[in-house]
Amino acid sequence: MYRSECSLFFVLLKLILIISAERVNLPDDDLYYFDPNKYVSSNNQYVQEVLRKYNQDPHYTNNNPLSAINQDLLNKLASTPDPRLIDSSNYPNQRNSRPRTNERVDVLNVGQGRHQNQNYGPPYNIDQNRNQYDVYPSASRGDPPRQYFENDPQYSLRDDELFKLLAQLDIRASQQCNINVRAQWDFETNVNDANQIRALEQQLAYSEFQRGVHNIVDKIDKWDIRDPALWRQLRYLSVVGPSVLPQDQLNRYNRLINDMLAIYNTATVCDLEDPLKCGLRLEDLNVIMARSRDWDELQHVWIEWHRRTGQKIKELFVQLVDLSNYAAQLNNFTDTSEYWMFPFEIYDFRNEMERAWDQIKPLYEQLHAYIRRKLRDLYGPEKISREAPLPAHILGNMWGQSWENILDITIPYPGKNFLDVTPEMLKQRYTPEAMYRIAEEFFVSMNMSAMPPDFWSKSIFDEIPGRPVICQPSAWDFCNGNDYRIKMCTHITMKDFITVHHEMAHIQYFLAYKRLPKVFRDGANPGFHEAISEAISLAVSNPKHMQTLGLVLTSIDDLPHNINFLFHLAMDKLTFLPFSLALDIWRWDIFSGYTRKERYNCHWWDLRERLSGVKPPVLRSEIDFDPGSKYHVPANLPYIGYYMGTILEFQIFRALCKAAGQYVENDSRKPLHKCDIYRSKEAGAILTRLMETGSSLPWQETLKLGIGESKLDASAVREYFRPLEEWLRNENLRTGEFVGWVYDGDYCKYSIETANLQVSGGYYNDATVFSISLSLIISSCLSTIFIHLKLSRS
């Protein structure tokens, strides 16, 4: 496998460069769409070295794409001083000629469904909203009053001139995006040295371009803009993240992330039974976590993985927090948590997210109680007590974020098979192409788009003999309005059949917003793209749809099948929610300074216990740094979008089903989980409305336009799982389970020594220094790639 030969380099390419911020390169690989939009740092010194070496390639001609922009406009901008620096005495009359800020916001929001606590306009000085919207909050933070100069033609572009400028930038952006995406595609579909270098170069060139755009946009006085669409466009173009850091600080920032990822990606563990069998990597450990039912082995693997990753990462993370906050402040946010919440445009974001979890928790507690009984049956009451939280290491997953790997010991009706139409697909001689044709017909039946010709001629549905391909399923937008592709090594299985629909839903999204300016061709918020695709997956994966397609011949609509079906889904989606919520609440608390370094790990376990009812297998301390053992912490990637997307998925699905007449609340003949939106033009119209505005509106508005709801509402999750919840409640009553959990002892101490506790195995005072330098890894990786030497990882 290419990736395992040099996964660090892969990660550098894929993630330091943030080509895609989704769950790439993880064991629980998420299905993703390729996102070239992310602002990319080109200041990584290692990458620069690689580039210097390989830059002699004559194909790499870096003619500045911005040179094609109208020079008069640029010159005018270039002569515009920073509005904040203008001497106010030159503009004595401006103050009064200006509308009051509050008025303006109101005007902008007329007819836009403005809600309490949600303010969609430009970020003028409204204290209540400041934290969420103030891209330029300095003006409201005690600075001298702003002075305006809008009537001085020397100093500002008129709106029409701005539109012209943005239109030109937009054309360039699409072209540059296209060049970049083509290079990434070429690499992922034909992994070799030359393509990798080319992909890297183009990614950097694109990032340089974006930086250039940012520099132009930075000069525009956004305070003078009255048109909300224009304002929003400029705001999007001007949020730059860590790249605002001074060069030396930015290098340090990149270096910290590189170093943490190097630790994460190279960590290995030795076998419990056979201490000489070392070098077990995360892929191997995941298999053990999923399959082993041996308490000691699982505990060993869990502890060792956390020791080899989190513990080593902590000091670096502490430094990253400061630097990341500094970068956020340079972007005029108070700290990184505010910066991360910014794309969600919700006042009181954290409470909104917690409220959604409160809606779901009664259902989760039933599942939790039921699972605890099953685990108690297996491991014994001395290990799993009746009222305690669940130990994190026996849930089938290193992070306890999905429990579907322990279905074999927990499934409600073990005798009954899951719905799996794979044999029938094989019998009917399905081919990969047929799967895509059927998926296309699904969307067309709902009056949505057919796939464009390029899709069929250029997509990759199958492995190509003799060509190394990165097989992770992904959907690609080539930014030119006609080239859209899927890359997936499709197998004839039910799972892949659903994935094909999922990926094609991403393409539907691309098609729906293709006429918007480049900067708005994105999901309505960071959880939206996946929410739509997963709602489609829900729709096609249910037995009724499979029956309609002729893949289910005998009726399987009995209680056991239904409960097993819902249970399986709950063991993945429901269990993921409290984990994902905890991960970002934990980081918000750290970035905001609420949680100090002395409480990092214990705060994590407080949250895990409170939200998930999960505890560590052994006592932890502040020597440990358990969240650091999850990829997104060292990579410093936000996670809350997955949480929100998972809830939105059900909310959107419910609306589609109501529109299709397939779901009627409280009507047991039409439960939500049996809804099939196939052939429903009404559902198709809703999807189109949800997608066609891209990110050009606050997502609440988009949601309102699409489904008439304007808040995140987790009641759809409850409704979807209602039959399961009833079943679980009865089952827990029957066996007299305690529902909920009670803190049952110490999970985490500042220091194990002061806790005066004996810790077996010496896990807490291991002195092994893990000091492999990044440059060594990089050069080893390069030799793997360029000289084809296999890297030894002993």
By C-beta, is 30 or 208 nearer to Zn ion? 30
Please check whether residue 503 is in contact with residue 473, taking contact to mean a CB–CB distance below 8 angstroms: yes
- For the CB of residue 306, give the shortest distance to ligand NAG in the complex, in Å: 37
Among Zn ion, ligand NAG, none, partner that 31 touches (CB below 5 to 8 angstroms by kind): Zn ion
Please check whether residue 83 is in contact with residue 149, taking contact to mean a CB–CB distance below 8 angstroms: yes
Taking alpha carbons only, the member of 235, 65, 278, 131 closest to residue 696 is 235
Distance between CA atoms of residues 756 and 749, nearest Å: 10
Distance, CA of 548 to chain centre: 33
By C-beta, is 134 or 477 nearer to ligand NAG? 134
Among Zn ion, ligand NAG, none, partner that 533 touches (CB below 5 to 8 angstroms by kind): Zn ion
| Token pair in block for residue 42 | 């080109």
- For the CB of residue 121, give the shortest distance to ligand NAG in the complex, in Å: 18
Task: Count the residues in the chain.
Answer: 794
- For the CB of residue 658, give the shortest distance to Zn ion in the complex, in Å: 24
Taking alpha carbons only, the member of 371, 405, 361, 367 closest to residue 391 is 371
Q: Does the protein bind Zn ion through residue 31 (CB under 5 A)?
A: yes
Among Zn ion, ligand NAG, none, partner that 204 touches (CB below 5 to 8 angstroms by kind): none
Among ligand NAG, Zn ion, none, partner that 331 touches (CB below 5 to 8 angstroms by kind): ligand NAG
Q: Which helix (H) or strand (E) holds 748?
A: strand 748-749
Among Zn ion, ligand NAG, none, partner that 21 touches (CB below 5 to 8 angstroms by kind): none
- For the CB of residue 792, give the shortest distance to ligand NAG in the complex, in Å: 45
| Token pair in block for residue 527 | 């959880």
Residue nearest to Zn ion (CB): 31
What's phi and psi for 553, nearest 5 deg? -100, -40
By C-beta, is 136 or 642 nearer to ligand NAG? 136
Among Zn ion, ligand NAG, none, partner that 520 touches (CB below 5 to 8 angstroms by kind): none
By C-beta, is 84 or 98 nearer to ligand NAG? 84
Distance between CA atoms of residues 509 and 645, nearest Å: 15
By C-beta, is 214 or 458 nearer to ligand NAG? 214
Q: Which helix (H) or strand (E) holds 686?
A: helix 681-692
- For the CB of residue 481, give the shortest distance to ligand NAG in the complex, in Å: 17
- Using DSSP's 3-state secondary structure scheme, residue 126 falls into coil
Distance between CA atoms of residues 305 and 287, nearest Å: 13
What's phi and psi for 711, nearest 5 deg? -135, 155
Distance between CA atoms of residues 358 and 68, nearest Å: 53
- Window of 118-126, 265-273, 286-294, 533-541 that interacts with Zn ion by CB under 5 A: 533-541
Helix H segments across 190-281?
Answer: 193-218, 228-238, 247-266
Among Zn ion, ligand NAG, none, partner that 84 touches (CB below 5 to 8 angstroms by kind): ligand NAG
- For the CB of residue 709, give the shortest distance to ligand NAG in the complex, in Å: 15
Strands 614-615 and 620-621: unpaired
By C-beta, is 215 or 751 nearer to ligand NAG? 215
List the catalytic residue out of 150, 188, 503, 649.
503
In this structure, which amino acid lies at residue 183? A
By C-beta, is 530 or 676 nearer to Zn ion? 530
By C-beta, is 25 or 233 nearer to Zn ion? 25
Distance between CA atoms of residues 390 and 613, nearest Å: 6
| Token pair in block for residue 500 | 């094909």
By C-beta, is 32 or 342 nearer to Zn ion? 32
- For the CB of residue 236, give the shortest distance to ligand NAG in the complex, in Å: 13
According to DSSP, residue 340 is labeled H
Distance between CA atoms of residues 721 and 728, nearest Å: 10
- For the CB of residue 86, give the shortest distance to ligand NAG in the complex, in Å: 12
Question: Under 8 Å CB-to-CB from 554, ≥6 apart: which residues?
Answer: none
- Window of 186-194, 217-225, 484-492, 528-536 that interacts with Zn ion by CB under 5 A: 528-536
Among Zn ion, ligand NAG, none, partner that 136 touches (CB below 5 to 8 angstroms by kind): ligand NAG
Residues that bind ligand NAG (CB under 6 A): 84, 136, 138, 244, 331-332, 447, 665-666, 681, 685, 688
Among Zn ion, ligand NAG, none, partner that 685 touches (CB below 5 to 8 angstroms by kind): ligand NAG
Q: Distance of CA 769 to CAs 287, 312, 780, Å? A: 27, 9, 20
Among Zn ion, ligand NAG, none, partner that 210 touches (CB below 5 to 8 angstroms by kind): none
Please check whether residue 451 is in contact with residue 442, taking contact to mean a CB–CB distance below 8 angstroms: no
| DSSP secondary structure of 28-56 | T---EE--TTS------HHHHHHHHHHTT
Distance between CA atoms of residues 131 and 234, nearest Å: 19
Distance between CA atoms of residues 3 and 265, nearest Å: 11
By C-beta, is 210 or 331 nearer to ligand NAG? 331
- For the CB of residue 238, give the shortest distance to ligand NAG in the complex, in Å: 6
Distance between CA atoms of residues 561 and 414, nearest Å: 10
Distance between CA atoms of residues 57 and 76, nearest Å: 36
By C-beta, is 84 or 211 nearer to ligand NAG? 84
By C-beta, is 665 or 744 nearer to ligand NAG? 665
Distance between CA atoms of residues 332 and 123, nearest Å: 12
Distance between CA atoms of residues 750 and 742, nearest Å: 21
- For the CB of residue 693, give the shortest distance to Zn ion in the complex, in Å: 19
List the catalytic residue out of 506, 603, 632, 673.
632
- For the CB of residue 774, give the shortest distance to ligand NAG in the complex, in Å: 29
Binding mask 36-75 vs Zn ion (x if CB under 5 A, - otherwise)?
A: ----------------------------------------
State the Cα torsion 600-602-604-610 to the nearest 10°.
-150
Size of the site for Zn ion (CB under 5 A): 4
Among ligand NAG, Zn ion, none, partner that 332 touches (CB below 5 to 8 angstroms by kind): ligand NAG
Among ligand NAG, Zn ion, none, partner that 138 touches (CB below 5 to 8 angstroms by kind): ligand NAG
Q: Does the protein bind Zn ion through residue 533 (CB under 5 A)?
A: yes
Q: Distance of CA 641 to CAs 140, 218, 265, 556, Å? A: 29, 28, 24, 35
Q: Measured at the alpha carbon of residue 621, what is the angle toward residues 615 and 626, in degrees to the nearest 5?
A: 60
- For the CB of residue 494, give the shortest distance to ligand NAG in the complex, in Å: 30
Is 632 annotated in the active site?
yes
Among Zn ion, ligand NAG, none, partner that 681 touches (CB below 5 to 8 angstroms by kind): ligand NAG
In this structure, which amino acid lies at residue 543? P
Distance between CA atoms of residues 369 and 728, nearest Å: 9
Please check whether residue 78 is in contact with residue 219, taking contact to mean a CB–CB distance below 8 angstroms: yes
- Window of 526-534, 726-734, 739-747, 783-791 that interacts with Zn ion by CB under 5 A: 526-534
By C-beta, is 24 or 234 nearer to ligand NAG? 234
| Token pair in block for residue 355 | 């409220």
- For the CB of residue 447, give the shortest distance to ligand NAG in the complex, in Å: 4
Is 503 annotated in the active site?
yes
Residue nearest to ligand NAG (CB): 138
Burial (CB count within 10 angstroms: exposed 0-12, middle 13-18, buried 19+), residue 558: exposed
User: What are the catalytic residues?
Assistant: 503, 632
Which residues contact Zn ion (rule: CB under 5 A)?
A: 31-32, 530, 533
